[in-house]
Amino acid sequence: TQLLEQSPQFLSIQEGENLTVYCNSSSVFSSLQWYRQEPGEGPVLLVTVVTGGEVKKLKRLTFQFGDARKDSSLHITAAQPGDTGLYLCAGPLGTGNQFYFGTGTSLTVIP
Amino acid sequence: NAGVTQTPKFRVLKTGQSMTLLCAQDMNHEYMYWYRQDPGMGLRLIHYSVGEGTTAKGEVPDGYNVSRLKKQNFLLGLESAAPSQTSVYFCASSYSPPSGGLYNEQFFGPGTRLTVL
């Protein structure tokens, strides 16, 4: 069982639709990161959230960190084909030196 | 400025063979990591290093060894490859430790696809 569970695992939507991806844990994280990974490449950081209840917006993407710092969500408004990819959440426990990654959500946006 | 590079990009091994994967970064980062990525499991940490000459075990260290003789390089070794080690391997580096809040961004290499027959 992994520390961070993401849902849904797969998501296929039409261009212009909205979607939300969830990242959940029973453990408390000192911060959470969201990455996007395209086929054949390494993950690239989208955002880091560090404060419980924090909301960050990057253009059409909205990220939220749960009040108890055990969960996070990524909301995409008006999805575009360029949003297609694997979305991963990740974070450290306390002051540890390890990042734990979520199980991933594979998003396909159909033109 | 190449960022994080990995060699080789692809490799096929037979069971029992050994190999070394090389990771290099030119960002003067202290922290380096080796992950494996398998379908439906995200990335899992194999080993990591908090500075030159140091290494530590991650979530799935069995069957792997690492070395960090130079700050810019982090090597991952498989002494006797097994089919269960078929995976995509990613190296990453960061300026701050994972607990470093807004400054703990990990920079990833392009990955090595390893198949063990």
For the segment A6-39, what is each residue's pLDDT rounded down to a tens digit? 999 999 999 999 999 999 999 999 899 999 999 9
pLDDT tens, position by position, B1-37: 789 999 999 999 999 999 999 999 999 999 999 999 9
Nearest CA in chain B to A49: B102
In sequence order, what E strands does B8-96 have? 10-13, 19-25, 31-37, 43-49, 56-57, 64-67, 73-78, 87-94
Residue A75 has pLDDT above 80, yes or no: yes
pLDDT at position B99: 82
pLDDT at position A1: 66
Residue A94 has pLDDT above 80, yes or no: no
pLDDT at position B75: 98
Residues 56-75 of B with CB under 8 A from A: 56, 58-59
Which of B4, B50, B101 is closest, CB to CB, to A31?
B101
Average pLDDT for residues A82-101, to the nearest whole number? 91
- Start-to-end CA distance of chain A, whole Å, equals 35
Q: How confident is the model at residue B39 (pLDDT cuts 50, 70, 90)?
A: confident
pLDDT at position B104: 86
Taking the CB of residue B28, how many other CB atoms lie within 10 A of it? 9
Pairing between strand B10-13 and B112-116? parallel
Q: What token pair was written down for A70?
A: 């055990």
- List the single best residue of A63, A98, A103 to mutate versus B (max B Cβ within 10 A): A98
pLDDT tens, position by position, A34-61: 999 999 999 999 999 999 999 999 999 9
The answer to whether residues B88 and B111 touch, using CB atoms and an 8 Å cutoff, is yes
Task: Determine the Cα angle at A65 with ends A102 and A12, to 5°.
Answer: 50
In terms of C-beta density within 10 A (0-12 exposed, 13-18 middle, 19 or more buried), how is residue A59 classed?
A: exposed
